[in-house]
Structures are given as structure tokens and as C-alpha cells.
Amino acid sequence: MGRGPGGGLMTDMVFRRGRLLLWGGCLAAALALPLVFKGGFVISLLCQMGIMVVFALSYNMLLGQTGLLSFGHAVYYGLGAFVSMHVLNLLGKDGGPLAVALLPLAGGLAGLLAGVVLGYVTTKKAGTTFAMISLGIGELVAACALMFPGFFGGEGGVSGNRVVGKDNLLGFTWGPQIEMYWLIVAWAFLATVAMFALTQTPLGRMANAVRDNPERAEFVGYDTQRVRYLMLILSGFFAGIAGGLTALNYEIVTSETLNAHTSGVVLLMTFVGGIGLFYGPVIGAILISVMQIVIGGMTHAWLLYFGLFFLFMVLMAPGGIASVLAMQRTLWQARLLGRMLPHYLATAIPLLVLLAGLVGLVELAYALLAGEGATAGDAASRVLGMDLYLRSPVPWAAALAVSAAGAAGLYWIGGRMKKAWHQTLSTLQGDKA
């Protein structure tokens, strides 16, 4: 750390005034949200978001910062959750609220330890091989979870109670959900600051170098394998903290927390948010958590939409939402955003039409094939709040027509936007040159 200018640079970068304001603003917003939205539903959604922010950020330490695409990150998260739960149950009556508040640390240490053991095998390679090995290790641990019901609790999982002892810590017993939320905010904030600080350390910088050009990093004299290993261990630590928070929040941990599905969800979240910028995964975690609960509550086809949305992002905006936002910011600073705004608005119209048509088609198909329509036969079914006869071609034709109109409009207006976009970009680059 004390590497000449590196040390000075670090304090300078981390504690700049503008940045302090941004961090403070985010913390204040996180603390103010439950005062604005008082419902229990919103509080549990916020808790889920906070946990996922930590988890996604820890994942991005691998994917975004070190260039390691992992398909088994849930292992560290899940092991952290299980160990925290067991520690909580061991504490039993002897523990107090302070011990409970520090419990995610136990999860973090478990994640760290898992990283030390498993990372030794996985980080021998980078790239595609790492991706496959991480998948295999993930499956290995998930299969073990079903083989050792003593520790993993079998199908039912392990449960516990986060209220231990009769004392309180500054008035907190962690019983009510809102108190749990304060705890999650505190941990999420600490973990986020720590992870950001890490990006500014020599290790964080070397991780970027290993991601971009491992050969040159080796020539400079760094052991790339060791850098990957260290990053994986640290990432495991933060994933374990997220796991510990989950254990406390839900008071139950099942083997689902460490299976491939959880690993997949964190990957999707992180990528959709944007892996190139530090705050990308935060956006992804918040957005996907909200969509999961809000859209997931409205339709059975949520996972299908999620998959389509993900593919759309991979093909259209591989830098994620964060990179799109960062681009707009650059345009704004160059006073070019005004040129693009009308085009954005114009493109939004056919895009929404196309979206409406596609949603109509998917919902009709779900109602016919997977829902009641399959058995209801010729009776009317409720789709998107309308009573429709699924066997008649009319609703299908209508949905198809709407989609086609949207697609045609998008082709036309989108083409014009593309043109304007390229013009703006060349102006921007001309300005810079």
C-alpha cells in the first residue's frame, strides 16, 4: 500500500469531497427510504436489495475487476449463510444483540476460508477454463449440500432466531424488520466502502492489469495466479458477509442459497447493471430485486422476460446500464445531450408499442399453454386484465399486429436515432481531438 504516490493517491481518491457527498447522499437516501415508504412489503424489499447489493458487488470483484467469469459464486454466499446460522444457533441464549450484529463477520470469514480452499483450485486458470471450473466446483458443493444433512439441514434447511438474550444494543434487539434493515444498511455501507477502497489499492489495480493483459502483468513481475487467488479470497469474504445478512434477515438458510440458480442470478444482476464501473452492480442489484418482486408478482412469465432482457442487454449494451448512463453523462458535459433527447423520446414510442405487443403474445401463450387456458378449453380466460377467448385468432392477431407495428416503427425511427447517435459521437470525438 505505501507504494510512494500510490498511498497518497489512495487517500486522495477515496476521500475527495465530491465523492464524500455522493456516498453520504446514498447513505442518507438508504436511511430515509423506509421513512417515506412505511409498508412491511417495501421494508422487506429494501432488505433484499441491500443484501443483493453486497453480493453483486462482491461478484463484480471477480468479473468486472479481475476478468474472472464465475458460475459458482453462490458457494461463498451460501457457505457464509450456513456458517452464520450455525454460529447464531450456537450462541443461543448466551449471545446478545452485539454478537448478532457482528454475525455477518462470521459469514465473511467462512466465505474467506472457502475462498482459500476452493480458490486454490479454481484460480489456477483464467478465462473460459476458470468459468468451467467454477461451475464444476459450484455443482460439487451443491451436491455435497444434499449429502450432508447434518450441516446443511437437508431439504428443510437450517433455521434460527435472530433475537437472542434479553438485552438490547442501543435499543436494538433486531426483532422487528425495520431494525434488521438498519443493520443491513450499516453492513452494506461498510462493505461497499471497503470494496471501493480495495479498487484503489495496488492489489485492485493489479487485478485490472491481470484482467486486461496478463502477459504484461507477468513481465512487470507480478504472479497473475496469486493476484486472481487473492481477489477470489476477498470476493469470497464479501459474498460471505452478504450470506450472513441473508441468514439473519430470513432466519432460515436452505441449500438453494448455494446452488447454480443463485450463482446465475447474481451473474445476471451484475452484468445488467454494468461490470465496467464500480456502481454498476449496485444499479443491477436494485433494479433486478425490484423487478423480481414487482413483475414476478404480476406474471408467471417473469423468468422469460428476465432472460429476454438479459439477452437484449448482452447484444445491445454489453457495458450494462451503468455504461449507458455514463455515456449520457459524457454527452451532458459536452452539451450534446440536448441533441439526442428528442431522438430518445421518439424511439421510446415504437419501443413501447413493440414491448406491449410482445408482452401480449407471451401472456397469451402462457395462458394457453401453461395456465388455466390449457384446461379451460373454449371459455374466456383473463389475460392482462381482459377476458379473451384463447382459441379464437383475434387476440393473437391483435398482439401480432401491435408487435409488427412496433417493430416497423422501431426500424424506421431507430435507424434515424442511430444516425444521429453516430453524428453526435463524431462531434464528441472531434471536440476531444
Partner 1 sequence: MEFVVMSMLNGITYGLLLFMLSSGLTLIFSMMGILNFAHASFYMLGAYFAYQISTWTGFWPGLLVAPLLVGAVGALVERYGLRRAHKFGHVAELLFTFGLAFLIEEVVHLVWGKVAVDYRIPLELDGTLFSLFETDFPIYKGFMMLVSVGMLLALYALLTRTRIGLIIQAALTKPEMVEALGHNVPRIFMLVFGGGTALAGLAGVIGGNAFVTEPGMAAAVGSIVFVVVVVGGLGSLAGAFVASLLIGCIQSFSIALSISITDVFALVGIALPEGSQVARLTITQLAPILPYLLMVAILVFRPRGLMGSRES
**First-to-final CA distance of the chain:** 36
Q: How far is the CB of 195 from partner 1 (least distance, A)?
A: 21
* CA–CA–CA angle 380, 383, 389 (5° rounding): 30
Given candidates 62, 74, 112, 133, which one binds partner 1 under the rule CB under 8 A? 133
Q: Which amino acid is at 55?
A: F
Q: Mask 56-75, x = binds partner 1 (CB under 8 A)?
A: -------x---x-x-x----
Q: Mask 364-403, x = binds partner 1 (CB under 8 A)?
A: -xx--xx---------------------------------
Q: Mask 79-118, x = binds partner 1 (CB under 8 A)?
A: ----------------------------------------
Residue (187 or 306) nearer to partner 1, CB: 306
Window of 108-116, 146-154, 172-180, 333-341 that interacts with partner 1 by CB under 8 A = 146-154
Q: Mask 242-261, x = binds partner 1 (CB under 8 A)?
A: ------------------x-
152 binds partner 1 (CB under 8 A): no
Burial of 91 (0-12, 13-18, 19+ CB in 10 A): middle
213 binds partner 1 (CB under 8 A): no
Given candidates 150, 171, 221, 297, which one binds partner 1 under the rule CB under 8 A? 150
Window of 14-22, 82-90, 145-153, 331-339 that interacts with partner 1 by CB under 8 A = 145-153
Tell me the three cell numbers of residue 266.
447474481
Window of 128-136, 162-170, 197-205, 325-333 that interacts with partner 1 by CB under 8 A = 128-136
Given candidates 41, 148, 411, 412, which one binds partner 1 under the rule CB under 8 A? 148
Instruction: Give Cα 330 distance to the centre of its chain.
Output: 25
Q: How far is the CB of 294 from partner 1 (least distance, A)?
A: 19
Count, residues near partner 1 per rule CB under 8 A? 44
Residue (24 or 307) nearer to partner 1, CB: 307
Residue (190 or 304) nearer to partner 1, CB: 304
288 binds partner 1 (CB under 8 A): no
Given candidates 16, 124, 382, 422, which one binds partner 1 under the rule CB under 8 A? 124
303 binds partner 1 (CB under 8 A): yes
Given candidates 93, 128, 297, 335, which one binds partner 1 under the rule CB under 8 A? 128
Given candidates 98, 99, 116, 144, which one binds partner 1 under the rule CB under 8 A? 144
Binding site for partner 1 (CB under 8 A): 63, 67, 69, 71, 121, 124-125, 127-129, 131-133, 135-137, 139-140, 143-144, 146-148, 150, 260, 264, 267-268, 271, 301, 303-304, 306-308, 310-311, 314-315, 318, 365-366, 369-370
